[in-house]
Amino acid sequence: MKFPGKVLIANIFKGLFYSFIVIAISLITLELPLFNKLKISIFGKSTVQKRVQDIEPKVTEKLKPLFVKKNLVYPPDDVTLLFVKSQKTLSLFASDSEGKPQFIKTYPVFGASGKSGPKLTAGDDQVPEGLYRIASLNPNSQFHLALRLNYPSDFDKKMAKEEGRKNLGSDIMIHGSVLSAGCIAIGDDAVEEIFYLAAQSNYRNWKVILSPVDFRKVVSAPEPKVIKPWIPKLYEELAQTTKELPLK
């Protein structure tokens, strides 16, 4: 015969156990800042070289066949990334021996806040739009791994100066995990692939296109969140650059 008191205590402990499991999985999966700081305090900071060594076997097994299939050098040096805001996708291209970009693969983007239109100020939660470069790699990101873009670009700064805008924001990343506010979250497996390729090449020469739509498929973009007179010219440049990339 079971006593109600014992059953109640057992259910309480069972509930606490499941709560602990859920919290632990959330911390590990989402790489929350507190958990990341705890990892660093226990294991110390990692380096780009160390992270590359850790992920190289898995990444190479998945990526190298895609390059071999198209007779491309692996790892590549001349790379283009195309983020399409309306589709929430990030596509990877690598140039062949003649300098022509070849399609490698497309990653789903799990987190990218904001609507059509460029980023104008800090806190507007907009993913930037324009032509960018990778500025640095972060092997200790709270979102697994991260590649920081050179936002604000010279163009962003020029437009802001003409309009008297200040505090444009910064630290726009392509990173792991599935959550983001103003950055591009592509999941841990995908960011490992991009991070590895960047670490193995002169990543500062990579082209990163952040576009409201895929101008290879559509003629125009939706009306931006905030209308600016210089946006049509920006979109013309994005359209021209994007159309140089193959669909497949």
Radius of gyration of the chain (CA): 21
Question: What pLDDT does residue 112 have?
Answer: 92
* Contact present, 109 and 126 (Cβ < 8 Å): no
Sequence-separated contacts (24+) of 32-38 with Cβ below 8 Å = 32/142, 33/142, 36/140, 36/141, 36/142
Strands (E), 109-237: 130-132, 134-138, 146-149, 173-175, 184-185, 207-211
Q: Mean pLDDT in the chain?
A: 89
Q: Which CATH number fits domain 48-242: 3.40.50.300, 1.10.8.420, 3.30.420.40, 2.40.440.10?
A: 2.40.440.10
Domain limits, the chain: 4-43, 48-242
* Integer Cα distance of 156 and 152 in angstroms: 5
Of 202, 225, 171, 240, whose CA–CA distance to 78 is shortest? 202
**45 or 123, greater pLDDT:** 123
Q: What is the pTM for the complete model shown?
A: 0.84
Task: Give the amino acid at 136.
Answer: S
Is residue 34 over pLDDT 70?
no
Strand partners for 89: 84, 108
36: helix, strand or coil: helix
Retrieve residue 229's tokens: 């007179």
pLDDT tens for each residue of 77-130: 999 999 999 999 999 999 999 999 999 999 999 999 889 999 999 999 999 999
pLDDT tens for each residue of 224-236: 989 999 999 999 9
